[in-house]
Amino acid sequence: MNLHGLVSGAIGTVNPFVDASMQNNTGYTTNDDGVQIPTYVTATGTAQVQALTFKDLTQLDGINKNGAARGIYFYGDIQGVLRTKTKGGDIITLSNGASAGNWLVVQVLETWDVGWCKCACVLQMS
């Protein structure tokens, strides 16, 4: 059962959804001079941006993160850094609202079989 789908209308009246695009990291290519360039596949949709809870912050304890951090709910397969797959973190771009900008996924906090997840993201410099 997709509970998020059932309650998303009510959630959206309290905290509106924002337009977003998600750049899924697919690895990297290497230039002739040896510099690695990340590669991405882009998906679009809407996201729900919220403050991180105390439990979220506890789960992130030990990760070296600084700056603005948010919990972002998004339909899709969002991932942080996967070193064993030589994959960097995904980037979520929010195009409107107070949280507009590029947000790097530092940790996936929740995933659900119905296709949505919650991740902790840190705002990146433009």
| % pLDDT > 70, the chain | 75
How distant is the alpha carbon of residue 13 from its chain centre? 22
Instruction: Of 2-6, 41-45, 64-68, 76-80, give the lowest mean pLDDT range.
Output: 2-6
Q: pLDDT tens for residues 98-125?
A: 788 999 888 888 887 777 888 888 888 8
> Over the chain, what is the mean pLDDT?
80
- Does 105 or 88 have the greater pLDDT score? 105
Give the pLDDT of residue 65.
Answer: 62
Q: pTM to 2 decimals?
A: 0.76
**pLDDT of amino acid 107:** 84
Fold of 3-28+41-123: Thrombin, subunit H (2.40.10)
The structural domains of the chain, with segments of one domain joined by +, span 3-28+41-123
pLDDT of residue 51: 81
- Buried b / exposed e along 79-110 (16+ C-beta atoms within 10 A): bbbeeeeebbbbbbbbeeeebebbbbbbbbbe
